[in-house]
Structure 1
Amino acid sequence: MKFNARYNLRRQDSKKPEKIYLICRFVGEKFVYPLAFNVLPKHWNIKTGEVRNVIDEPNRDIINNYLRGLKAAAKDIYDKAIVARTPVTKQLLKSGLDRWTGKTVEDKPIFWSWTEKYIEESPKRINPKTGRVISHRTIQEYNTTFEYLKEFEKANREKLDYDNINLHTLKDFRDYLTTVKGFSLNNIAKHIDNLRQFLRAADADKISIDADTINPKRFTIAREAPQDVYLNETELLSISALDLSDHTKHLTFTQLQNGKEKAAKVQYATLDRVRDLFIIGCYTGLRVSDYNNIKPHHIKGDYLDLYQRKTGQRVVIPIHDTVRQIMAKYGGHTPPKISDQKLNMYIKEICREAGIVETIEKQQTKGGEKVANVLQKWQMVTSHTARRSFASNMTKQGIPIQQIMQITGHKKESVFLKYVKLTGMEHAEIMRKHMMTGNNNKHLLNAL
């Protein structure tokens, strides 16, 4: 996306001094920002966008230096937004330029200006829990919550500011997301959490807020366990056995774009790589950010030895025979990286082609009501299904949970168990095997 900034006068043919305007164009948008300076059109250089070097304009150097600085500031605001994957809007540019020029932003309450600045500065902040910079995904979620808060303010017809945000605000925002937006419980909880994060940060910055709003005991938000799936060993074998070797072929499928179905196609070569990356995830328990970024120096003989990107924790993982076969296919390395978006899209189609079409009724609370959708299993598979499949299959094999956690990097058993998606029958089968083992041991003791 290109960004262009230039200066212009309101009227070039005027005999009187005219105000200078900064004109910014980006992604089909035009943003006009007025300056405090006025100049005679005959003293203005249209080509350079600066004041001419004439004696009649004694402040020309001061004005021109100011113009260069302001234009650089506008470009900097745009570049930082692109890096942070923040939507570039006219309001974003105006707020940034107002701060650069020292203007007071009187048309926005402090809540909006402070929160906007907090989000803009997020790429530079360190997450105290991980010691790393705030992730792009978190910043995107902050921006989404910020937009929903603006919609909520408009619908509620009451300006949001720190002196009137209280427990009723949290309840009203929750109700708005439930009834107007029709969001699921967990989506609502995420946006409430983000609002509270904004308030906690403001409180840390010595801004007076209602303490009850950040006290989890004063306002609890409902959540529900996500109905995720895992792929068992038989299903993983079906995926591995899928013949994608003819890289001249392609697969045609249907995808949703802006709520409409659209035909799309993908080369077998891409599907082959996606399948191999996903299978590696299923036999290592790594997150997609890790199994999609395995480097040669991570491969140490029969083990993968690496630091997890999300937590920074070191894990040592034995290389499964299936993973070794995939690596041999790529000259002893893992497949080249592919974007998370494409991986998520294509792994569904791979699972469908592999015949993973079991019907599943998925229930969740949306818009305040229990909603049931009947899906085929392939539709519920994502890049993160690989990690759940590893945790579930290893547990199913009877490997002690503490050992599996050493591989996945989980520190809390309660968190790890959320990844184990075995059915009641599968748990019963594990118990039956242990009971049979116990009986065999008993017979051995009796024989002695």
Structure 2
Amino acid sequence: MKYNVINDRLQAINVELSNLLQSAKEVPDKQLIIEKLNDVCNKVESVKELVVETFWETTDRFVEATNVTPSSRKQLKSALKRFKTFEGTLSYSLTFGNINGETLTAFEQWLKDGTRGRNSITSILKRIQRFFSWAIKDQKLNQVEVTITNPFTDFTITPEMYGTPVVLEKAERDYLFDLPLVNERMKKIRDIFIFQCYCGARISDLMKLTTANLHGDILKYVPQKTAKESIKEVVIPLNKNAIHILKRYNDPEGYLLPRMSDTEINRTLKTLFKTVSKERPKGLDRPVGHLNPKTEIIEYIPLHELASTHLARRTFAGLMYAAGQKDDLIASMTGHSENSKAFTRYRAIDMDLKKKATKNQ
């Protein structure tokens, strides 16, 4: 609420009380005074607007008010929670008035000391930056004249650093598809992984797909990560192997695949890759170059350490790109924008993989 509004209201109260006392034959009772004050203040509810919320109450309101997907909301909440934990290392409480570029520099160093990698730190800082951009425009804060200086004007967020994406070779993917497995749980997770290699969907979308998304051998869905920004349907023609996997399951609720958590799938995939590597002559544990996000140095690690649902998604995009498919075609099936940083990395795929994919895809 603006100060001139407050002053006008106080003046109106003063006038009303003066008139009341001058016109009354006797001292007005309490109830009459309250009624007069309520009339002047446009009811008691308006007075409540004078209460200024704390910095952290504002962050909570931001998380709830922002129009994002549930997963993005969770990430915003997590980033701000880390900022609040950082406050515990300081000798003062954080407010809009004392957060500046130096505060962010100290917070960044605190994240590094906690063994956070460069890309993780960048993501956290971008989410906090989003909060400040929102707060500056927030009408409720403007009404109570909270002065907000954007601390990011004096602070530069270090951009993400990515290495060349690791993908499975076509022969490795096909070997996993044909691999006989005894363990039923491992079979299901292998099927989820291979199906993802064939369609490229994010695991969060994959776990929600039902028979309603399947039109013959065509898979259609709207990626939830970008649904708030644009309703853009992804259409994937499925090959015979992908259809074969789906025929193994008949969920009573109509889900196309067994439903499992990302964490459970990733943990089991690492075990599967290690197990297969011992049995297969060429193995599935070849050394692969991986950018260590903490040291920012390329390190060579066994493939099983990168076995995850995201490896499946990368494999779909990587093999498509290596086979010479056009950018716009691949992006239309992965849900990426053509110029996204994540997508452009696939242009750096090793030439040997390109040659193999072109011959065998």
Query: TM-score under structure 1 normalisation?
Result: 0.58
Q: Deviations over 1:308-345 (max 9, x none)?
A: 22224212211111112212333698332222221122
Instruction: Name the structure 1 match of 2:126.
Output: 193
Q: Percent identity?
A: 24
Instruction: Name the structure 2 match of 1:209.
Output: 148
- Residues 1:126 and 2:70 aligned together: no
Q: Give the direction of change, closer, same or farther, for the CA distance of 1:397–1:222 in structure 2 (3 Å limit).
A: closer
- Give the RMSD, CA atoms, in angstroms: 3.1
Q: State the SS of the aligned residue for 1:403.
A: helix
Residue type of the partner of 1:126?
N
Give me the whole-angstrom Cα distance separating, in 1, the residues matched to 2:256 and 2:348.
Answer: 27
Q: Deviations over 1:250-282 (max 9, x none)?
A: xxxxxxxxxxxxxxxxxx211111111111111
Work out whether residues 326 and 334 of structure 1, in 8 Å CA contact, stay in contact via their aligned partners in 2.
no
How big is the shift at 1:118?
Answer: 3.0
Give me the whole-angstrom Cα distance separating, in 1, the residues matched to 2:78 and 2:286.
Answer: 34
Q: Give the direction of change, closer, same or farther, for the CA distance of 1:303–1:141 in structure 2 (3 Å limit).
A: closer
Instruction: Name the structure 1 match of 2:4.
Output: none
Give the structure with the larger helix fraction.
2
Q: Give the direction of change, closer, same or farther, for the CA distance of 1:148–1:324 in structure 2 (3 Å limit).
A: closer
How big is the shift at 1:151?
Answer: 3.5
Q: Give the direction of change, closer, same or farther, for the CA distance of 1:432–1:371 in structure 2 (3 Å limit).
A: closer
Residue type of the partner of 1:296?
T
Work out whether residues 163 and 209 of structure 1, in 8 Å CA contact, stay in contact via their aligned partners in 2.
yes
Instruction: Name the structure 2 match of 1:27.
Output: none
Instruction: Name the structure 2 match of 1:394.
Output: 320
How big is the shift at 1:419?
Answer: 4.8
Residue type of the partner of 1:271?
M
Instruction: Name the structure 2 match of 1:288.
Output: 203
Residue type of the partner of 1:168?
E
Work out whether residues 303 and 318 of structure 1, in 8 Å CA contact, stay in contact via their aligned partners in 2.
yes
How big is the shift at 1:374?
Answer: 4.7
- Residues 1:232 and 2:169 aligned together: yes
Q: State the SS of the aligned residue for 2:328.
A: helix
Work out whether residues 391 and 420 of structure 1, in 8 Å CA contact, stay in contact via their aligned partners in 2.
no
Q: State the SS of the aligned residue for 1:155.
A: coil
Q: Give the direction of change, closer, same or farther, for the CA distance of 1:140–1:394 in structure 2 (3 Å limit).
A: same
How big is the shift at 1:115?
Answer: 1.8
Give me the whole-angstrom Cα distance separating, in 1, the residues matched to 2:213 and 2:300.
Answer: 41
Q: Deviations over 1:336-373 (max 9, x none)?
A: 2222221122122222223211123534252xx54665
Instruction: Name the structure 2 match of 1:154.
Output: 88
- Residues 1:422 and 2:349 aligned together: yes
Give me the whole-angstrom Cα distance separating, in 2, the residues matched to 1:371 and 1:410.
Answer: 27
- Residues 1:335 and 2:223 aligned together: no
How big is the shift at 1:236?
Answer: 0.6
- Residues 1:304 and 2:219 aligned together: yes
Q: Deviations over 1:144-192 (max 9, x none)?
A: 33333233223232331111111111112112222x3132111111221
Q: Give the direction of change, closer, same or farther, for the CA distance of 1:343–1:105 in structure 2 (3 Å limit).
A: farther
Residue type of the partner of 1:114?
T
Residue type of the partner of 1:339?
S
Work out whether residues 166 and 290 of structure 2, in 8 Å CA contact, stay in contact via their aligned partners in 1.
no
Work out whether residues 229 and 421 of structure 1, in 8 Å CA contact, stay in contact via their aligned partners in 2.
no
Q: Give the direction of change, closer, same or farther, for the CA distance of 1:373–1:384 in structure 2 (3 Å limit).
A: same
Greater relative contact order, per chain length (Cα 8 Å cut-off, separation 6+): 2
Give me the whole-angstrom Cα distance separating, in 2, the residues matched to 1:336 and 1:431.
Answer: 30
Q: Give the direction of change, closer, same or farther, for the CA distance of 1:275–1:315 in structure 2 (3 Å limit).
A: same
Q: Deviations over 1:400-430 (max 9, x none)?
A: 2222222223232444223566224435x48
How big is the shift at 1:288?
Answer: 1.1
Q: Give the direction of change, closer, same or farther, for the CA distance of 1:365–1:308 in structure 2 (3 Å limit).
A: closer
Equivalent of residue 348 in structure 1, options 270, 284, 298: 270
Give me the whole-angstrom Cα distance separating, in 2, the residues matched to 1:350 and 1:422.
Answer: 25
Give me the whole-angstrom Cα distance separating, in 2, the residues matched to 1:200 and 1:406.
Answer: 31
How big is the shift at 1:431?
Answer: 12
Structure 2 runs not aligned, ≥5 long: 1-47, 278-283
Residue type of the partner of 2:243?
R
Q: Give the direction of change, closer, same or farther, for the CA distance of 1:384–1:160 in structure 2 (3 Å limit).
A: same
Give me the whole-angstrom Cα distance separating, in 1, the residues matched to 2:176 and 2:276.
Answer: 5
Work out whether residues 291 and 297 of structure 2, in 8 Å CA contact, stay in contact via their aligned partners in 1.
yes
Q: Give the direction of change, closer, same or farther, for the CA distance of 1:305–1:222 in structure 2 (3 Å limit).
A: closer
Q: Deviations over 1:212-239 (max 9, x none)?
A: x244x85232421156421111111121
Give me the whole-angstrom Cα distance separating, in 2, the residues matched to 1:232 and 1:284.
Answer: 16
- Residues 1:364 and 2:305 aligned together: no
Work out whether residues 322 and 358 of structure 2, in 8 Å CA contact, stay in contact via their aligned partners in 1.
no
Work out whether residues 302 and 319 of structure 1, in 8 Å CA contact, stay in contact via their aligned partners in 2.
yes
Give me the whole-angstrom Cα distance separating, in 2, the residues matched to 1:116 and 1:418.
Answer: 36
How big is the shift at 1:303?
Answer: 1.3
How big is the shift at 1:391?
Answer: 0.8
Q: Deviations over 1:12-47 (max 9, x none)?
A: xxxxxxxxxxxxxxxxxxxxxxxxxxxxxxxxxxxx
Give me the whole-angstrom Cα distance separating, in 1, the residues matched to 2:176 and 2:187.
Answer: 10
Give me the whole-angstrom Cα distance separating, in 2, the residues matched to 1:154 and 1:309.
Answer: 35
How many residues in Structure 1 have an aligned counterpart in Structure 2?
291
Q: Give the direction of change, closer, same or farther, for the CA distance of 1:112–1:294 in structure 2 (3 Å limit).
A: closer
Work out whether residues 164 and 349 of structure 2, in 8 Å CA contact, stay in contact via their aligned partners in 1.
no
Work out whether residues 110 and 162 of structure 1, in 8 Å CA contact, stay in contact via their aligned partners in 2.
no
Give me the whole-angstrom Cα distance separating, in 1, the residues matched to 2:327 and 2:298.
Answer: 32
